Amino acid sequence: MSDVDEPSVAIDAHDDAPTVSDSASAVPMTKSAMKKAARRERIAALRPERRAREKEARKAKKREREERRAAGELDDEDDAPKPKKQRTGPPFGGRVVVDLGFDKDMTEKEVQSLSSQLAYTYSANRNAGYQFKLLFTRLDGKTEARLQGINNAAHTRWKNSEWWSEDYDKLWATDPEVKPTVVYLTADSEEELSELKPEETYIIGGICDHNRLKNATLDKATQGGVRTARLPIGRYLADMKTRKVLTVNQTFEILVNWVDSRDWETAFHTVIPKRKFEENGRKHKNKGKAEEPVAQPQEDEEPQVVMMRIEELEEQS
């Protein structure tokens, strides 16, 4: 009996001993990594408190609506829940690629803005009557680091979405017949898009440069021999006073709304903010009013907008 028990004790003692792999994995963290880890811990610690505040805010809003309803201040139309988008025909299919291959040309602030646009893009696809297959290509550098640090890389858990470190030319690497069905959407193209086709793949340039990098998407597509086209924004929004530059999520939402309505004018007016049709955009809206000071983040503080947005998406998944 003792002969059987003794080997088990020796094995237990061996299991408790540190291994070579354990000591090798204890790599010291850089100062930047330590700051990011500490920030994630602070956010995680504050999350229950924030959830409680949000819950209380929802209750307060509900109480306010009930009081207004009792006072007769709400019409039936105001009180009715917003209808969900309904599918009105057969599934459209189709695929949209967001090309993230411009990371090295963007600043940290522009990468943060792009990350937010990607979250809005995913949200628009989740809420669409007809969802596209979403593919994000050439994920690396600052953009990947930014997304990895948000809510434990929540983007990797987005549904109906795929992430590649390779460029979009991988699409036709094994099947050359795929390439003619790929269209790069760029405002600099001479060809105007007339309709979307379910058998085609549409690429949106994942770039946030405030029009600094002129022709960047067109040049990349042309050099790769990829067909290009522009949305017919000039044809349907000729009265648009401000510059016709769209964000990644606005471009995607226009595609989604076209699939729902099969009408470009409806799709554009659903997505484009009304201020874009005013003479001076945002400035026109605040004419005659004193400008309110905008709170600026501290030097070491990162904006919280993207974090909150992607966390909300993760909760809804």
Contact yes or no for 154/313 (Cβ under 8 A): yes
φ/ψ of residue 10, rounded to 5 = -65, -40
E-state strands within 63-209: 95-99, 133-137, 161-163, 182-185, 201-205
Q: Three-class SS of residue 254?
A: helix
Show me where the domains of the chain are located.
95-284
Residue 312 identity (one-letter amino acid): E
> Tokens 């989604």 belong to which residue?
256
**Cα(11)–Cα(1) distance, integer angstroms:** 17
Fold of 95-284: Alpha/beta knot (3.40.1280)
Q: What pLDDT score does 235 carry?
A: 85
Spatial neighbors of 50 by CB under 8 A, at least 6 apart, are: none
CB-count exposure of residue 256 (10 Å: 0-12, 13-18, 19+)? buried
**Mean pLDDT, contiguous 10-residue spans, the chain (317 residues):** 48 47 61 86 88 89 79 60 57 90 92 94 90 95 93 91 96 95 95 95 89 86 96 79 75 94 92 65 46 42 39 47
Catalytic residue among 140, 209, 239, 260: 209
Catalytic, 140? Answer: no
**Cα(77)–Cα(79) distance, integer angstroms:** 5
φ/ψ of residue 137, rounded to 5 = -110, 160
